[in-house]
Amino acid sequence: MTTPKDLGDLIARFLLIALALTLVVTVFGELALPVAGATFELRYKTLWRVLPIIWLAALALPTARATLAPRWHPSDLPLALFVAMAALSIAGGGGHWGDFRSLLAAIGAGVMARSLFASMPRRRLFMHLLGWTLALVLTRELRMHPDLLPPHEMGRYDLITANPNVLGFLFAMTLPILLAEVLAATGARRALAALYVVVALLGTLLSFSRTAGAGAVAGTAIVLIGSLPRPRALLLLGLAALAFFAMQRPDQWTRLRITGDAQRLRILQTSLSLAADSPVLGVGFGINNLEDVFSDRYEARYGERVFRFHSMNQIVDLLVGTGLIGTALALWWAARVGGCARRWFRTAVPGPDRIRAAGGLAACVAIALMSMGEPPLYHGKLVPVLFLLVAFVELGPARPAR
């Protein structure tokens, strides 16, 4: 006889399988499935929007509520206010809702993930979902372009899953969580986590993203210093950084980036001039709303057009898109998430819980640092994984603090 708990667990398993499938489809962008002689296409944006709706519908069942009840977090209030401000900015300005819908779906997936991974048995699956996703990305890239190995800068222009900076961000922001698992786990779990770390490091190297490199180094430093005796941590960090930059070879970077680097200051100045024109609501959240006004303003200021529609800085993009109020709310949300991660690290039980809390804190720092060079909220493939990672950090240590 099926008990209410069994039914709730069955729904949770279905959602976990659906989440794993959604991550697979995200890697490929879409998957074509033969159904009854026809071809049915699964698109990753559609799946990310449908999945939270299924979870909300399941909560209508009392048996599911017992297993999948929402777990609210102090960061939810500023995030909800920011979402409202982002919607208001679009309604009063740009009119393009695509990035907003992607953001809303990603937030829904994150809230769902907090309930899905609240229990310890299911929480252990999170690392594998991250690791398998990264391994699938890396396998796909190497299968399409075996000459990516050994890593070389020109290879970044052959990456097909996403923009190399987006892929670098993805690999680097998950590295601290995976590295912490290597230090905290034992046996087979440690071996698998070590494999995932190798995948994350190799993916970061293949992207040749300087932003991702900085995030990976910062995240690794926090995990090692927060988990190991100080002399040993500094020695390992020094060796890891030396090996990483020996592979990157900054002295051999091509001149292709010089034009983009020279435009950075102009791009920031153009974006800030747009923000000054619309300081309250902005031009509308989302890269398409910025695209409508950015190129014309850049041309008016500098006499040429540039085909870039973000400021290479999430805070500046938020200032342009949502104004001062929206940016302040977004920073409030980020501070709440980071503050909770820091508090859980300081109060976690010494041992595996403290190490995993260090991984969560390191992931937050890496994300914040990389957001100064790349806007994660404007990348459709990155933003749902970002909110899954934030949800895992928000869950905190496995055992209550002392």
Query: What tens digit of pLDDT does each residue of 265-302 get?
Result: 888 889 899 999 989 989 999 988 988 888 888 888 88
Q: How far apart are CA 381 and CA 163, in angstroms?
A: 10
Q: What is the pLDDT of residues 186-208, one digit of tens each?
A: 899 999 999 999 999 999 989 98
Whole-number pLDDT of residue 1: 46
Checking phi first, is residue 43 left (phi over 0); if not, alpha (psi -120 to 50) or beta?
beta
Query: What pairs with residue 38 in β-bridges?
Result: 35
Radius of gyration of the chain (CA): 21
DSSP state of 268: H
The structure tokens listed for 74 are: 């102090």
The answer to whether the peptide bond before residue 352 is cis (omega within 30 degrees of 0) is no
pLDDT digits (tens, 9 = 90+) for 29-69: 888 777 666 667 889 999 999 999 999 998 888 877 777 88
Confidence class of residue 360 from pLDDT cuts 50, 70 and 90? Answer: very high
Domain layout of the chain by residue ranges:
1-69, 74-254+263-402
145: number of Cβ within 10 Å: 14
H or E, element range at 41: strand 38-43
Query: pLDDT confidence of 253, banded at 50, 70, 90?
Result: low
Q: Looking at residue 118, what is its pLDDT?
A: 84
Residues, the chain, total? Answer: 402
DSSP per-residue string spanning 286-345: SHHHHHHHHHHHHHHHHSS-----S-S-HHHHHHHHHHHHHHHHHHHHHHHHHHHHHHHH
- Please report the pLDDT score of residue 401 as a whole number: 45
Give the pLDDT confidence score for residue 95 in this predicted structure.
80
Give the closest residue to 321 by CA, choosing from 163, 101, 87: 87
* Beta carbons within 10 angstroms of residue 387's beta carbon: 25
Task: Reply yes or no on whether the pLDDT at 120 is more than 70.
Answer: yes
pLDDT of 250 reads: 59
3 pLDDT above the threshold of 70:
no
Query: How far is 93 from 218, CA to CA, in rounded Å?
Result: 37
Confidence of residue 6 (pLDDT cuts 50, 70, 90): low
Q: How far apart are CA 19 and CA 298, in angstroms?
A: 41
DSSP-derived letter for residue 148 is G
Contact between 81 and 270 (Cβ < 8 Å): no
> How many Å apart are CA 160 and CA 143, to the nearest integer?
11
Integer angstrom CA distances of residue 67 from 106, 223, 349: 21, 32, 26
- Mean per-residue pLDDT, 109-134: 89
**Quick one: average pLDDT of 111-130?**
87
Alpha-carbon separation of residue 268 from 56, 138, 264, 371 (angstroms): 40, 33, 6, 14
The answer for residues whose C-beta is within 8 angstroms of residue 32's C-beta and 6 or more apart is 39, 40, 41, 42
**CA-CA distance, 207 to 280, in Å (whole number)?**
37
CA atoms of 340 and 194, how far apart (whole Å): 27
Average pLDDT of the segment spanning 146-170: 90
Both structure tokens of 315 = 């805070």
